[in-house]
Amino acid sequence: MLLLVQLSCPCWQVQLCNLTPPYPTLSSLQVRRYWAGKAPDWATQEQQHLQDLSLAEGRGEPVRTEVAAPVVVQRKADPRLARLAASRNEDVEEVRNRHREVRAAEIVRRRAEEEARGEVPRPDSEEDEDDVGAKQDQQRVPEEDEGEADRRRQAVRERLIQQQKANEAAVQQQQQQQQGEDEEEEEEEESEYETDSEDEAYAGRRLLKPVFVPKESRETIAERERLEREEQEAELREKQRQEERKAETRQIVAEHVAAEAQAARQVPDEVQRNGAELEEVNTDDEEDQVEAFEQWKVRELSRIGRDREEREKQAAAAQERERLKHMTEEERREWERANPKIEKPKQKEKWTYLQKYWHKGAFFQEAEDDPRGTTGRDAIFDRDYSAPTGEDKFNKEILPKVMQVRNFGRSGRTKWTHLLEEDTTNYDDQAIKALSEKRRAIGAPGGAKEEFSKPKKFRT
Amino acid sequence: MANRTDKEAYTIHGTNPQNLVEYIVRNKIYQTVYWKESCFALTAETLIDKAVDLKAAGGTYGGQDKPTNFMCLILKMLQIQPDKEIIIEYIRNEDFKYVRLLGAFYMRLVGRPLEVYQYLEPLYNDYRKIRVMTKEGKYMVSHVDELVDAMLNKDHLFDIALPRIPTRYALEKTGQLDKRVSVLDEEFDEAMLEQETGTAAERAAQARRHC
C-alpha cells in the first residue's frame, strides 16, 4: 500500500511513505534533491507502468489492459427468444404449410348483394372492395331521390338493431348459465329500454307528406318579422341609453371641475405638511398686498402680546421674590400657610411579582418649558413605565421555587429571601412582639420615612 | 485646503467661526456640488451675485440630509468673515430678500447680543413672502418676519445651533436695551382697551341679569 504523507522534515516535497518492506531506512529519510523531468528514486516499476499507460493514452495508442471475465447480465424474458425456442421445436412440414396459408381478409358479405338489396355498406366493415364501393356510392347518391336514401338508411338501422338484439341474446344466454337471476333481469330490462327508445326515435323519423303552408301562417316569416321589430326596439333603447350617459358624464365633469376649483383654492393637507414644488410656491409680493398686510398685522400683534405677557410674568415673579426677601418671620409663616407646598403623595404603584425595572434613559427627556426649544417633547416620555411588559405578564408564582427569579438561567441567581425560612423565631413570645412593634414605630432602616420638617430655603 | 477659514479671521464665540456649523453638517456642505463649483474663491462682492440667485432658504433636506445652497453660502460667509459694515449693508438692502436673510442669519450667528437685537428687530416689519425648504425636499411659503422671529426666539434654525443670547427682558433690565417699540403698539393698546371694556360690559350685563 502506498500512502501520500507529508513528512515533518523541513523539505518541500511530498514523499511516498513506503509501508511495505523494506521499511524506510535512515538513509532513505534523508533529503533528496528534486530534478525536473527526472524520476525520483522512490518511483517503482508499478508506478512506471501506470505512468506508461497514462502516456500511451495521451498519445492515442490502444491501451492493453487485462482481459476480465465477461459479466452476464440477466435480461427479462425476451418474447423473441421464447419464440425462437418454440420454433426450434416445431416441425418443418407444419411450418411450410403455415406459410402456404393465405392471410387475407375474410369476406363477411359481398357488396354486390347489398347493392342488389339497395343498401349502403357499413363504414366500419373492412372489405377489399371498400374503396371502389365507396366511390361508386358517392356517385350514385346525387342521382337517387332523397326519399330512397332515407329508406335505405332506415333499413340499415333496423338491421343494426336486429344484430344487436341477437348479440345481446347470445350474451344473455351465456350469463344466464353463469350468474344469478337478478343480474339477468337488469340486463334484460336495460336492453328492452334501449330498444324501445330507439324504436320510437325511428318511428318519428318517418316522413310526413309535404303540405303547402301559406305565407301568413308560415312561422318562419312571422319569426323573422318579430326579430326585426326587436332589433329596432333595441336600437332605440341603445340610443336613449347613450344620451342618458352623455348627460351624466356632463354632470360629473361639471362637478369634478367645481371640486377641483375649490381644492385649488384651499391648500391641501399634504402641501401644508410637506410643501410643494418650487414652481408651485408663489412668492410674488405684488399680489394681494392688502391681504399680506393684514396677515402681517395679525402676526405682529401676537408677537407684541407674547412679549408683553412674558414681561409681566417676569416682573411679577421678581416682585414676589423681593417681597419675600423682606418679610418678617410671622409674615413668612402666614405666607407659607397661604401657599402650602403641595407635594402629591407619591402613590407607590403596585407592580407584579418579580416585575423588572426598566429605566427610561437619562437623555432626551427635554423639558417642555424650554421657551427657546425647537424640538418638543416626544409623547413616548409620557408612557406609563411602571406597567408590566413582556415576561412580567406571566404569573411567576406557579413556577417552581428555583425559577422564581429575575433573569432565570444566569449563573449565581439565587434569590435572597432574608432567611425567613430559616428563621426560627417564635413570634408569639411577648418580648419579641414588643421588639417588633418598636421597630415598626421607628421604621427600618432608620431614616427611610421623613417625618421631620427640613428648613426651607427661599430662592433669591 | 479650500475649506480653511481665512487666516485673518477673528474667533467667534471662542472658536473657529466655521465650527458654528457642526461637524457633520459642515462636511456635508463641503461635499455638495454647489460648494465645490460656485463657492470656490468667493469674496464679499461675488458672494452677492450668488446670493441674488438664491430661490429658497432652508436647512438640510431629504433622507440623506442634503444641505441647501443657503447653508452653503452661510458657511462661506463664516469662512471669509466679511466686515460688519458689509453685513449691515446686506441687512439694509430692500431689493433682495434672500440677501437680507443671509445677512440677518450671519449676524445672529456671529454678532454680539446687543447688535443682534439692534439689527434684526427692524426686519420684523418686512412681511414679504419667501420659500423655505422643508425636510422632505418640498417648499413652503413663509415670511421674512417669521424667520427673524425664529432667529431671535429659538435655539435651532436651518440645522444650525444658534448661539445663546440673553432674553430681551434680561437686557432691558440691565438697561442695555430699551423697551421694544413696534409700529403696531398703539393698535395693540387700542385692542386691549376694547377687550377690557368689552369684558367689563359683559360682566355688567351679567350682573344686571342676575339681580
Residues A293, B183: C-beta atoms closer than 8 Å: no
Residue-wise pLDDT tens digits, A60-99: 666 666 777 777 776 677 888 888 888 888 788 888 888 8
The verdict on B190 and B107 lying in the same domain is: no
Does residue A192 or residue A450 have the better pLDDT? A450
| Closest B-chain CA to A309 | B169
Three-state DSSP class for A115?
helix
In this prediction, residue B49 has a pLDDT band, given cuts at 50, 70 and 90, of very high
For residues A40 and A47, give the distance between their C-alpha atoms in angstroms, rounded to a whole number.
11
The pLDDT, as a whole number, for residue A133 is 46
Nearest CA-CA distance, residue A368 and chain B, Å: 13
The verdict on B132 and B205 lying in the same domain is: no
The verdict on B160 and B210 lying in the same domain is: no
Q: In whole numbers, what is the pLDDT of chain A averaged over residues?
A: 75
Contact residues on chain A for B124, CB-CB shorter than 8 A = 300, 303
For residues A457 and A65, give the distance between their C-alpha atoms in angstroms, rounded to a whole number.
113
Contact residues on chain B for A283, CB-CB shorter than 8 A = 128-131, 141
In a domain, B10, yes or no: no
Strands, E assignment, A284-440: none
In a domain, B11, yes or no: no
In this prediction, residue A51 has a pLDDT band, given cuts at 50, 70 and 90, of low
In a domain, B79, yes or no: yes
* Domain boundaries, position B161: 17-176
Query: Which among A12-21, A139-148, A305-314 has the top mean pLDDT?
Result: A305-314
ipTM summary value = 0.87
The pLDDT, as a whole number, for residue B70 is 96
The pLDDT, as a whole number, for residue A24 is 58
Contact residues on chain A for B187, CB-CB shorter than 8 A = 297, 301
In this prediction, residue A27 has a pLDDT band, given cuts at 50, 70 and 90, of low
Query: Torsions phi, psi of B57, nearest 5?
Result: -105, 160
The verdict on B48 and B88 lying in the same domain is: yes
In a domain, B57, yes or no: yes
Instruction: Write the CB contacts of A161 (distance below 8 Å, at least 6 apart in sequence).
Output: A195, A198, A199
In a domain, B9, yes or no: no
Q: Which of A311, A366, A369, A370 would you mutate first to test chain B, the one with the most B CBs within 10 A? A: A311
Q: Residue A148 pLDDT more than 50?
A: yes
- Alpha carbon A81 to its chain's center: 56
Tell me the average pLDDT across A261-276. Answer: 68
- Chain A, residues 256-275, CB within 8 A of chain B, namely 271, 274-275
B88 touches chain A (CB under 8 A): no
B161 is written with which cell numbers?
Answer: 445651533
Nearest CA-CA distance, residue B150 and chain A, Å: 9
The verdict on B148 and B211 lying in the same domain is: no
The verdict on B205 and B130 lying in the same domain is: no
Three-state DSSP class for A172?
helix
Q: Which of A111-115, A136-140, A299-303 has the lowest mean pLDDT?
A: A136-140
Q: Residue A20 pLDDT more than 90?
A: no
Residue-wise pLDDT tens digits, B80-107: 999 999 999 999 999 999 999 999 999 9
Closest of B103, B80, B74 to residue B9, by C-alpha: B80
Q: Residue A185 pLDDT more than 70?
A: no
A289 touches chain B (CB under 8 A): no
The verdict on B23 and B54 lying in the same domain is: yes
Q: Residue A190 pLDDT more than 50?
A: no
Cβ(A277)–Cβ(B138) below 8 Å: yes
Nearest CA-CA distance, residue B167 and chain A, Å: 10
What is the pTM assigned to this prediction?
0.51
B145 touches chain A (CB under 8 A): yes
Q: In whole numbers, what is the pLDDT of chain B averaged over residues?
A: 91
Return the ∠ at Cα B3 (arms to B1 and B6), rounded to 5°.
95
The verdict on B129 and B192 lying in the same domain is: no
DSSP codes, chain B:
-TTSPPTTPPPBTTB-GGGGS-HHHHHHHHTSHHHHHHSTT--HHHHHHHHHT---EE-EETTTTEEPHHHHHHHHHHHH---HHHHHHHHH-SS-HHHHHHHHHHHHHHS-HHHHHHHHGGGGG---EEEEE-TTS-EEEEEHHHHHHHHHH-SEETTEEPPP---HHHHHHTTSSPPP--TTHHHHHHHHHHHHHHHHHHHHHHHHHH-
| Closest A-chain CA to B155 | A372
Does residue A274 or residue A345 have the better pLDDT? A345
The pLDDT, as a whole number, for residue A14 is 47
The verdict on B114 and B79 lying in the same domain is: yes
Contact residues on chain A for B143, CB-CB shorter than 8 A = 295-296, 299
The domain total for chain B is 2
A280 touches chain B (CB under 8 A): yes
A341 is written with which cell numbers?
Answer: 407646598
The pLDDT, as a whole number, for residue A119 is 55
For residues A212 and A337, give the distance between their C-alpha atoms in angstroms, rounded to a whole number.
127
Percent residues over pLDDT 90 in chain A: 12
